[in-house]
Amino acid sequence: MSLFLNLNKLLSSHFQKNNRMKLIKLNAIDSTNVFLKELANTEELESYTIVTAEAQTKGKGQMGSVWETEVGKNLIMSVFVKEIVKDINSIFDLNVVVAVSVIEALHHFCIPKLSIKWPNDIMSYNFKIGGILIENNIKSNGQITSVIGIGLNVNQTNFAHLPKGSSLKVLCDTDFDRTEILYKIIAHLKDNISLLQNDAAAVWQKYFDSLFKKDNPIAFKNSITNQNFMGIIKTVTKEGMLQVIKEDDSIHHFRIKEIQMLY
């Protein structure tokens, strides 16, 4: 408990614990991922220890991008898991599991036209409604622990600064219970982690089936050469690289931030 008392940015917190998970609710924090990583360094955490916050001042996306959110409107959560990723070569498996779990959870709330924009943005139609940031830690004994950050636009309605952003409320014209969504995500996350350990191909197939713009011609921008081109997304490799076929039928693989979809 001393960690919470020493965090100046923490306004208040309370705990909920049952036989399935431990939930820490915060009013305000710089980053739920940072908070949970620091907690994992001082305590032996159980898998599915979860931190949520009403406000987050330094939320991050992929490759250091910033995620801004209105206070009390959205779902800001981080989940600690361990011994899910077995080795460094299967790290992207967890990205796949989390993205699929968020999509499946949102289906319960009848969110339309859901898809996963590679690597793990959550989309409805052509609008981004959520994102995922997973940070892994390899311990000296080889054990890999992971902090899964999920940001979901729920009841926010102002996206003037984000023309490609939207929320569940904007899309469905109704308010949503953020805690109910959280529990649905965790339930599907547990189910898909169990499936991953028994049939990884089945989880990956769910990811492929939900992939944004898969098998459709789309314009891209090569972030390295600064050139635009047309291509078709065919698959994502085990390492998390996007496979694209260009107009001349040549096959190319791109890492995160090497390519941008223009849509």
Which tokens hold the place of 8? 């100046």
> Which pTM value belongs to this model?
0.90
Report yes or no: 32 and 57 within 8 Å, Cβ to Cβ. no
Q: How far apart are CA 30 and CA 79, in angstroms?
A: 16
CA dist 57 to 9, 54, 76, 149, 223, Å? Answer: 10, 10, 11, 14, 28
**Residue 69 confidence (pLDDT):** 77
- Domain 2-209 listed as CATH 3.30.930.10: yes
- Domain 217-262 listed as CATH 2.30.30: yes
Q: How far apart are CA 163 and CA 28, in angstroms?
A: 26
What beta strand segments (E) does the chain contain? 13-17, 22-29, 49-56, 75-82, 114-117, 121-124, 127-138, 144-152, 217-222, 227-236, 242-246, 251-254, 259-262
Instruction: Indicate the pLDDT class of residue 116, thresholds 50, 70 and 90.
Output: very high
**Residue 6 confidence (pLDDT):** 38
**Residue 2 confidence (pLDDT):** 35
Q: How far is CA 21 from the centre of its chain?
A: 19
Q: In this predicted model, what pLDDT tens digit does every residue of 232-244 receive, in sequence order?
A: 999 999 999 999 9
Place of tokens 């979809």: 261
Hey, where are the domains in the chain?
Answer: 2-209, 217-262
